[in-house]
Amino acid sequence: MAKKKANKVNTTQLQLLAKKVILAFVDGITTEPTDPFSLLGGYGGSSFGKYVVRHSKEYLLAADEFTRNATSTLKAKYAHEPSIRSIVAEACRMYVQKTEDERRDDPKLIADAATKLVEDVLAEAGHEYVRYMPNRFIVFSTPQRLRLGRVEAIDTQIVDADQELKKKFGISFEVSADPSSNRPASSKIISMPKAVWRVETPATLENVPEEARWLIDVAVSFMRLRATPHWSSPAFRLGQTEADPIEGQNRSFEHFTYEEDQPYGVSWSLSGFYEINDDVLEALNAPKAQEQAATLFDPPKESLAVRLANGLGWLSRARQSSDRTERFVAFFTALEALLSAKSPGAPVTETIARSVSVIIAKDITQREAVFSVVKDLYKTRSNVIHRGERFVTWGEVNELQQYTEAVFHRVLFECELTMPADDFLASLARATHGTEWNPPVATAAPADQPVSLHPHQCR
């Protein structure tokens, strides 16, 4: 995949910090022997070529400050602090090796080196990798490929047949339950289950596994909600612990339990999968669904799609957890990702409860009931987060899941995802005064209308 062009950013502050780092490094050049043990103690140092550099407190502080600012500029998915520090150290060593002793304080040479250091670090924001991973989570009725934005679920035989990896790298896939332990390390045959994930991942290389997994989680929740009427899979049941999207069915550890003289035996707990039948595939390949998926994975800045995508990812993380407390907190994190106000002084509990009631309740009486339930659930959440309590029941978890998925379902089907998030939140705030909530409606064909996910849902 072609390298994306990084967004232009103001690099003035980073260049000043880069100069500071390089100068602090140069100040540590010493004529001591190159024995590495001579650098032990103090703040450490570097030995390269004919040079020995002792690190000073000023150098380490300058490198940390540069790394923090670069991380803030790159944002989380492109920032990998250890890699940035390595780039900084290498830039400093290269500067020492390329400059003559009497010219190391030349302002132009330092400025050029600082500019190159900043460019090398920010170049990480232009990377986009393609990652293939096992998919033991989705079962196709017939060999298919399903694309949702940057994420594809593909039958492994299709991947191998299209020759993309074979032509580029000599890599071929084979269908196998487990990788072959007898295959030589030089082999270019990769064992995969019957399906694979293919994820176009914008991130620095070290963050690709984490970011690709997150994009899959967003895609799974989108898939789950967008094709709601058509699922026959047991994975859709309320309260079901969802399988790991890469490893598949989660088995509990083999165990033995007893009380006094009563044994309870050995048990395996299997979690469900999603079966992609023709109806599901048709729903997800519909033009509107494909348009929304593309928007969610490359959303306009500050749009509703940004918030919705974040929330969808947390919905998947919630369903994947078998721990009641973790599951409960993750569902609320999904709601907060979508509904929390920007104002630091806004009452979070009131805002979330009122917004949920406005989205899924039909009239004032129903809104009051929903508001009351969500507010009580939020009290439990606060006790977990702020007091470390674990007194969460499965009834509370399942009730919260119903409300949360109903909220995301209606927003997904009825809102224009490219609208500014502030406009979306403002529309909810206006409706809390007793008026009907009328968000900008996304055009949908009659067969593409939402179905009821909750008894309080208004449409």
Contact 404, 335 (CB under 8 A): yes
For 137, 203, 214, 320, 427, the CA distances from 246, given in Å and listed in that order, are: 7, 19, 11, 12, 38
**What DSSP letter does each residue of 421-451 carry, written as one string?**
HHHHHHHHHHHTTTPPP-PPPPP--GGG---
Going by their DSSP bridges, the two strands 51-54 and 172-175 should be labelled as unpaired
Whole-angstrom distance, CA of residue 188 vs CA of residue 208? 21
Counting residues of the chain whose pLDDT is more than 70, the rounded percentage is 84
Q: Is the pLDDT of residue 391 over 90?
A: no
- Strands of 108-175 (E only): list them: 128-134, 138-140, 145-148, 151-155, 172-175
Decide if pLDDT at 379 tops 70. Answer: yes
**DSSP code for 267:** -
Q: Which of 233, 385, 397, 389 is nearest to 324 (CA)?
A: 397
Please state, as a whole number, how many other Cβ atoms lie within 10 Å of the Cβ of residue 89: 18
Specify which of 98-102, 140-144, 184-188, 305-309 reaches the highest per-range mean pLDDT. 305-309
Q: Which residue has the higher pLDDT, 181 or 392?
A: 392
SS3 242: strand
Tokens 């923090």 belong to 68
Res 87: pLDDT:
94
- Classify strands 138-140 and 274-276 as parallel, antiparallel or unpaired: parallel
What pLDDT was estimated at residue 443? 44
Nearest to 272 by CA among 220, 323, 237: 237
- Per-residue pLDDT, 447: 40
Region of poorest pLDDT, from 28-42, 148-162, 292-306, 368-382: 28-42
For position 185, what pLDDT does the model report?
A: 62
From 64-68, 242-246, 325-329, the region with the lowest mean pLDDT? 242-246
Q: What is the pLDDT of residue 349?
A: 87
What interhelical angle do 81-98 and 12-26 show, nearest 10? 60
Of 363, 420, 370, 430, the residue nearest 400 (C-alpha):
370
Average of per-residue pLDDT across 235-250: 80
Those residues whose C-beta lies under 8 Å from the C-beta of residue 71, and which sit 6 or more positions away, are: 79, 81, 84
Does pLDDT of 208 surpass 50?
A: yes
Helix axis angle, 324-339 relative to 364-387, nearest 10°?
A: 120
Least confident range of 93-97, 120-124, 215-219, 410-414:
120-124
* Mean pLDDT (whole number) for 419-446: 78
For the chain, what is the mean pLDDT? Answer: 85
- Give the number of other CB atoms < 10 A from CB of residue 42: 10
| Predicted TM-score of the model (pTM) | 0.85
Estimate the crossing angle of helix 278-285 against helix 208-226, to 10 degrees: 110
pLDDT tens-digit readout, 7-59: 455 789 999 999 999 999 999 988 765 555 556 567 888 888 888 888 999 99
* The pLDDT of residue 218 is above 80: yes
Residue 258 above 80 pLDDT?
A: no
Separation of alpha carbons 79 and 70, rounded Å: 8
